[in-house]
Chains A and B, each alone.
Chain A
Amino acid sequence: MSEAPSPASVPARAPATRGAAGRAPGPLAWLVRNPRRVMPAVVVQALVTALVLAVVTPLTGFEATVEANIAPLSHYTGVTPSERNDFDPALSALLDANPAMQRRVRAKALWMQTPMIVGESYAMLLALEGADQADFLARIGNRLVAGTLPAPGSDGAVVPADVARARGLALGSRFGRLVDPEDVTPGRFTVVGLVEGPARVGLVDLAYATVPDFVLARIESFQVVYARPGRKAQSDAYLHAATNAEGKKAFKVWDEAYWRARTKKMLENLPTLVNAVVGAVTAIVGLVVVLLHLIAFQARSDEFALLLALGRTRRSLAARLAAESGLAAAVALALGLALGYGFLAVWEAQVLRPRAILLRFFDPYALALSAALPLASAAAGALVLAARLRRMDPVTILQRRNA
């Protein structure tokens, strides 16, 4: 662009500033004044954004349930012998030599299922001796909200309140495979208490779970290891490193890292699938949105031809178009998120919570995927329109109408 200095003969002139034109209508004015042109693209983008958010959040947000199951492991670590069936004196001594350990207690682990959106989730029922139960609840931050702890030797069970609600269990209800052959919990239990708190774990009595000739007796017992305050990592490291007489790893350690790795593996294929589906939807709907942009562009070709003829550069017009489609995408994104989260809030309150299905409401992954459409279509729209603009011959358009 050769903007040579004016010859002396040309009268001095104010520099080309926006000045009075500062009030020139911007991209927002275009949006507000042309609702019928802008709405189709905005509505399509908003609806798909909401849809992706509403579908992906429950899929990935169900990790929240896994989190609740793993939560207590930040307060204790489970240990089983890696070779033998039970803790012999040597292994017990090895456990007690852990300098970071505060206390260890004998336990067994049972599971009770709760329905999920797809399949089931399992909440742990920890069998502990009577004396250890209250202490365990206090450590993991759960509290008894109804009933009592199981009496020693009884089939009483303390169950997370939301799991009980989802399973239709109340104080006095019985569950277990001896009651319902479909139940994954072995034996038979009577609900005597309900707990609430950050960790989804219930309690049963260890003495009852150890009664000989009873199916529960065959469940392997393990040790719950409590670390000294602030030394959990050190304690876990000791347990991982401890070796038995043969020089092999002495324990299998059921710590937070182990469970996290396990669930991660379980969920490994989910993002691939979700990404593929959402990617395809984004691409298809993105094409539709770009098409809508093109239709709007075509309808405005006189406007752009005129502005080019009047001396606007293609670059500045392209920037203007990019700002317009960016703004439309931002409006669509805001609208879509409001819509999506509104739907999720209602869905969670009405459907999920009564079924004890936990949801990570603001799931960053779902949020990112749902934002992909408006962002991608704004970028694609800007590029396509810039290409269109580059090929546009303003005079042909003006002359055609002039003829």
Chain B
Amino acid sequence: MSEAPVLSARALSLVYGDGARRTTAVEALDLDVARGEFVGLVGPSGSGKSSLLFLLAGLRRPTTGRVLLLGRPLDAAPDRNAALRRRHVGFVFQEPFLVPWLSLRENALVHATGPGAAARVEDLARRVGVAHLLDERPHRVSGGERQRAGLLRALANDPDLVLADEPTAFLDHPTGHAVMDVLRACVGRAALVVVTHDPEMLAGAHRVLHLRDGRLEATTAAGSPPATAAGA
């Protein structure tokens, strides 16, 4: 298959602030994720996992390096990637960020681009057990249910790249697995990167990247302990 990777990052780094308050969140990182690939991303708190996801989504301006999405370089200015992001990237945020005055369904479709989105959201909602809540407002459902609504929104446009930041953090184990099942299911036609503190959720991952202080420390197969040498 000669297809370009859905996602590729080269020499990517992100530095917050300057002087004494300078923090290197991501440092000289190279990464390729192909269509159909499920990549896990683990690391201690503050190791730069969320920052990396924002860079990969074109939401933050990288300090150095660049990201290619579907073979196309992302613009350094996040605003210029809006259309690409809307159509090709699904982002599950660490917190779901639902619009409080919209129903879960309206939230899931808030950036919908195609006629298939509504049916897709219905179907996904059934699979993660929130179909009966689609017409409720966010404040009337539980935190876990909100998190799942955020997942529906991320997948509504059938994205090519799915980036999930601790999608199961607020969920009990069975629900967490249901959410991961849905995410894994979209790997068929997308590339998936999942940040998590729970190694159990990475069952089936093709690779697990270990991040420490913004550096890619190791790459392992799912479940296996981190190797000592830098991978990739």
Contact = CB atoms under 8 A, between A and B. Distances in A.
Interface stretch (B36-44, B95-103, B170-178): B95-103
B83 A3 contact: yes
Contacts of A34: 101
Interface residues of B, number: 49
B197 interface: no
A309 interface: yes
A24 B91 CA distance: 20
Contacts of A402: 50, 93-95, 165
B108 to A, nearest CB: 10
A311 B3 CA distance: 25
B115 A16 contact: no
A399 interface: yes
B199 interface: no
A39 B113 CA distance: 32
Interface stretch (B73-81, B128-136, B220-228): B73-81
A311 B72 CA distance: 17
A230 interface: no
Interface stretch (A199-207, A239-247, A281-289, A300-308): A300-308
Please classify how large the interface on chain A is, using the bins under 10, 10 to 19, 20 to 34, 35 or more: 35 or more
A40 B22 CA distance: 44
Nearest to B86: A311
A398 interface: yes
Contacts of B81: 311
Interface stretch (B116-124, B139-147, B179-187, B206-214): B116-124
A394 interface: yes
A1 B116 contact: no
Interface of B: 2-4, 50, 54, 57, 59-60, 70-72, 75, 78-87, 89, 91, 93-95, 97, 99-102, 106, 109-119, 153, 158, 160, 165, 189
12 contacts: A3-B84, A7-B71, A17-B115, A21-B112, A21-B113, A302-B97, A303-B99, A306-B99, A310-B91, A311-B86, A399-B54, A402-B94
